[in-house]
Amino acid sequence: MSRRSRLLAGVAALALLPALTPAADAAPAQAPEPHTYVPFPTGTTTTDDGDTVLADRHGRAVQLRGVNLGKFDDIGRADVATMGEAGFTLLRLPIQWRRLEPTQDAYDAGYVQHIRDVLRWAQRYGLKVLVDWHQDVFGPAFGFDGIPEWATRTDDIPFERVEGNWFNNYFHPAVQAAFTHLWNDEDLREEQVEAWTYLADQLEGSPALLGYDLFNEPMGGTLTFEDVLNPDPTDLITKAAVFEATDLSDMYDRLIAGIRTVDSRSWLFVEPTVLVGEGVPTSLRAFDDPRPGADRIGYAPHAYSTSVEDGEDWDTASGFVETYEAAITLYPRENAMPVVVGEWGPISGQTPGNQELVRQQTASFTRFASGWAIWYGCANEEGGGYCVFTEDGHLDAGRAAAWAPYAKVLAGTQVAESYDVDAKRYVLTYRPQRKQGLTRLVVPSGFGRLIDVRVTDGEGRAPAVVRVSRPSDTGARTIAIRVAGRVDPGSTWTVRITRG
């Protein structure tokens, strides 16, 4: 077991107690039809279970399903087109401060243009973009990605890369010192807010821009190698809680205030520490949004199994998914925040345990989240590693449970949703609202090309007009459902999609 596993395994045990294709510039011959686009979520609505979900201006619940790509600038127009063709509606775009501002107070116009290009491609191919302020082990001063070297302060502690799991480098004293200075040095605080505000000003108004994930996988500056070698779960949880409630929440308050001086439209998503992946509820404070009108603040946790990250097949009896869902929903329900799971996905979809993990996680996300972005939108021969595409552009069959149909806009209130992976049968039950307009569903390419769609009411009648987009050899299908007559108050409709 790696040191990261030893660090988090105790936390997980305690939490169980009660209480794509390679980048290219060539575009495909045809863009999606206009009805494939996702409306911008201007507000929220509340489900019967008390979850707050994204909604468009008509009050229709909005669901987003997507991928991460772009961390290594490995994204081009053809990649975005492939995502849209496959049926994705969300791109989480990891960007890096070191590339935006490689030299202090000198922003890279070419990098900003690259981000604008991605947003333009996303608009053309029917995706919303969540721009992620990304870092891994702070930044290039330690051989990783994220924060520029000019903003890295180590107290002159020499750094040598730690062997084994890359995550262990977070606990090196030099790295912890860098985080401590970032959270607490006034000049670095101001530089970070200025950089975020500059970027938001440059991108403001892009129709494809959903918003910003304000800081990827934040880390406190109080952990040590002792926490890795001999972890005390109670102590780790206490340290994470203090960090989230103080330094991390303070940073989010600063960034929210800065961005809102130039952009009052976009959604701003806050992330907890990675301990939430082990079933530990976050201690983030509530956040006030200075924009006029309703708040547009969301919650963007990650969902990784530590053992799977270490290369093991997932233990189907671990209770990981149930523990995660119980813990992760507490904070957004208390603060009426929509959830987008910013990262998740096994390192391989080729083992039976990991395939079951995907099945359970996607079913879980459907119950409480407005969307998710799987890691990672790359391609290889068999969809191995984190890659969700095969080299020929198909979605990886090992992650088949993730390619279920979904209602990207739902004119009504969802009652139940399920997907039988083996039978290739999707069922959605909802209470329709005629005044909200059309319900639109997406059938990802990984579901299958030939489909059968049936809509029935409680009496077994067909109460709607159903329009299905034309067949495509590799692409997704879209379904529009329009009320054909009057809607009886309290009636429920059932949509069944099966592979033909």
The three-class DSSP label of residue 183 is helix
pLDDT in tens, the chain (500 residues): 444 554 555 555 444 433 333 333 333 434 444 445 899 999 999 999 999 999 999 999 999 999 999 999 999 999 999 999 999 999 999 999 999 999 999 999 999 999 999 999 999 999 999 999 999 999 999 999 999 999 999 999 999 998 888 988 999 999 999 999 999 999 999 999 999 999 999 999 999 999 999 999 999 877 777 776 677 778 888 999 999 999 999 999 999 999 999 999 999 999 999 988 888 999 999 999 999 999 999 999 999 998 999 899 999 999 999 999 999 999 999 999 999 999 999 999 999 999 999 999 999 999 999 999 999 999 987 656 899 999 888 999 999 999 999 999 999 999 999 999 999 999 999 999 888 889 999 999 999 888 999 999 988 888 889 999 876 666 899 999 998 877 888 899 999 999 97
Say if residues 317 and 268 touch (Cβ distance below 8 Å). Answer: no
Three-state SS for 212?
Answer: strand
CA 385 – CA 489 distance, rounded (Å): 49
Closest CA to 397 of 426, 367, 424: 424
Residue from 282, 236, 274, 268 nearest 136 by CA: 274
CA torsion, ordered 375, 376, 377, 382, to nearest 10 deg: -120
pLDDT value at position 383?
55
The token duo for 236 is: 């780790």
Contacts of 334 (CB under 8 A, 6+ apart): 286
Q: Give the model's pLDDT for residue 292.
A: 96
Name the residue with tokens 């108050």. Answer: 489
- R_g of the chain, CA atoms, integer Å: 22
For domain 3-30+63-402, the CATH architecture is Alpha-Beta Barrel (3.20)
Residue 301 near residue 342, CB atoms below 8 Å: yes
Check residue 23 and give its pLDDT.
36
pLDDT of residue 229: 67
What lies within 8 Å, CB to CB, of 262 at 6+ separation is 197, 200, 201, 204
Residue 472: predicted pLDDT: 65
Give the closest residue to 464 by CA, choosing from 433, 443, 490.
Answer: 433
| pLDDT (0 to 100) of residue 111 | 98
Residue 390's alpha-carbon distances to 27, 128, 359, 362, 384, in angstroms, are 19, 23, 20, 20, 8
In angstroms, the CA 477 to CA 406 distance is: 11
- 63 vs 370: CA distance, rounded Å: 5
CA 39 to chain centre: 18
Domain extent listing, the chain: 3-30+63-402, 33-62+404-500
Cα 332-334-324 angle, rounded to 5 deg: 50
Strand 379-380 relative to strand 389-390, pairing: parallel
Q: Which pLDDT does position 233 carry in this prediction?
A: 77
**CA 9, CA 6: separation in Å to the nearest integer?**
5
DSSP 107: -
Cα(408)–Cα(89) distance, rounded to whole angstroms? 8
Per DSSP, the three-state class of 410 is strand
| DSSP sequence for 40-98 | P--EEEE-TTS-EEEE-TTS-EE-EEEEE--TTS---HHHHHHHHHHT--EEEEEE-HH
**Cα–Cα dist 446/176, whole Å:** 42
Query: 33-62+404-500 falls under which CATH superfamily?
Result: Golgi alpha-mannosidase II (2.60.40.1180)
Structural contact between residues 97 and 151, judged by C-beta atoms closer than 8 angstroms: yes
Q: Write the DSSP assignment of 250-308 as a string of letters.
A: HHHHHHHHHHTTT-SSSEEEE---GGGGGTPPP-PPP----SSSS--EEE--EE--HHH
In whole angstroms, give the CA distance from residue 391 to residue 403: 18
**pLDDT for the residue 483:** 86
